[in-house]
Amino acid sequence: MGPVARDARVVVGNKLADFGDAVADGTVLFNWSGGRELVREVFLAAPKLAWVHSRFAGLDGILFPELVESAIPLTNGSGVFSPSLAEFSLLAMLYFAKDVPRLRRQQMAGVWGPFDMLPIEGKTVGIVGYGDIGREVALRTKAMGMRVLALKRHAPAAGSDLGPVDEFYETGRLLEMVAGCDYVVVAAPLTAETKHMVGAEVFAAMKREAVLINVGRGPVVDEAALISALRDGSIKGAGLDVFEEEPLPGESPLYGMENVLLSPHCADHHADWLDDAVRFFAAQYGRFVAGEDLLNVVDKKLGY
């Protein structure tokens, strides 16, 4: 944290008492891995706080009423994780298009059995929740020759560069969008509005050959409805990095399903991911000290 350490007093702690009298003077609260309660306690005890930064992209674990109501800006780590999550999304598409489970079954049985694979070129991907992750997915899938649809709560502002999206859909047109998709990538933040937004109705509207991919937040998808859809063949498969409860309980049927590619919420973990998160904060801190505009200022009321 070079640029921060040179001119700042840095105090690290796991409970309010750890921060001692630094709380009285602290202007910056950087939440690395604290839960909502700890962040709230420190926040309420720190009268000079001028900025809160959360290492994570998702804010559902940090937002509390006093923070939402305050004028203090909250920024997040959005962007640091997006390329990795887009790569996992691509893997999940190709995993099902080329039928990796069948390839492995045949390989391990010593069987030479050519079969028709599916191209992803020319297929349609729909991105539910088009933020930074969605944009990285769009860039990569467009380069694979896919048609890219995206669901966005607000219509894009005129002149905004939102990446290679063929058509935007507003939230009310979710069922219409997924009906035309071969792959649906969920990358929405978790808010009161998005909880279980992808449920039985969505799976019923999707093609039977379509694949659901969730790299956003587990509870955005109704997991019981997803398991039913995977069992009865309403959809072909799922690539999942996030779950309603994490760690996913050992008795979850998702573990044993051949038509699921399951990642234990580590699709955004790579050797440098923690360094990247610190580097991003350090650069933000430089902006804060210089009085420049911060990046990734979130809308605390919307929750992203």
Please list the active-site residues.
217, 246, 265
Tokens standing for residue 231: 């069992």
Tokens standing for residue 104: 């492995």
Closest to a second copy by CB, 90 or 277: 90
Q: CB 45 → a second copy: shortest distance, Å?
A: 33
Q: State yes or no: residue 262 binds a second copy (CB under 8 A).
A: yes
Q: State yes or no: residue 41 binds a second copy (CB under 8 A).
A: no
**Interface pick for a second copy out of 47, 159, 172, 247 (rule CB under 8 A):** 247
Q: Which of 208, 115, 202, 129 is nearest to 165 (CA)?
A: 129
- Choices 8-16, 21-29, 105-113, 284-292; region in contact with a second copy by CB under 8 A: 105-113
Instruction: Work out the burial of residue 81: count CB atoms within 10 Å of its CB; fewer than 13 is exposed, 13-18 middle, 19 or more buried.
Output: buried
Tokens standing for residue 239: 């690539």
Contact 211, 239 (CB under 8 A): yes
Tokens standing for residue 281: 């904060």
Q: State yes or no: residue 227 binds a second copy (CB under 8 A).
A: no
- What is the rounded radius of gyration, in angstroms, for the C-alpha atoms of the chain? 21
Q: State yes or no: residue 161 binds a second copy (CB under 8 A).
A: no
Q: Mask of contacts with a second copy, 62-91, x by CB under 8 A?
A: ---------------------xx--xx-xx
Q: State yes or no: residue 113 binds a second copy (CB under 8 A).
A: yes
Cα–Cα distances in angstroms (integers) from residue 9 to residues 27, 50, 129, 142, 288, in the given order: 10, 15, 38, 46, 15
Closest to a second copy by CB, 88 or 130: 88
Closest to a second copy by CB, 37 or 275: 275
Q: CB 273 → a second copy: shortest distance, Å?
A: 8
Tell me which residue has tokens 């790579």: 270
- Choices 9-17, 39-47, 110-118, 296-304; region in contact with a second copy by CB under 8 A: 110-118
Q: Helix or strand or coil: residue 205?
A: helix
**Interface pick for a second copy out of 22, 163, 273, 287 (rule CB under 8 A):** 273
167 — alpha (psi -120 to 50), left (phi > 0) or beta? beta
First to last CA, the chain: 26
Q: State yes or no: residue 114 binds a second copy (CB under 8 A).
A: yes
Contact 292, 270 (CB under 8 A): no
Binding positions for a second copy, rule: CB under 8 A: 83-84, 87-88, 90-91, 94-95, 97-98, 100, 103-104, 106-121, 139-140, 142-145, 246-248, 250, 255-256, 260-267, 269-271, 273
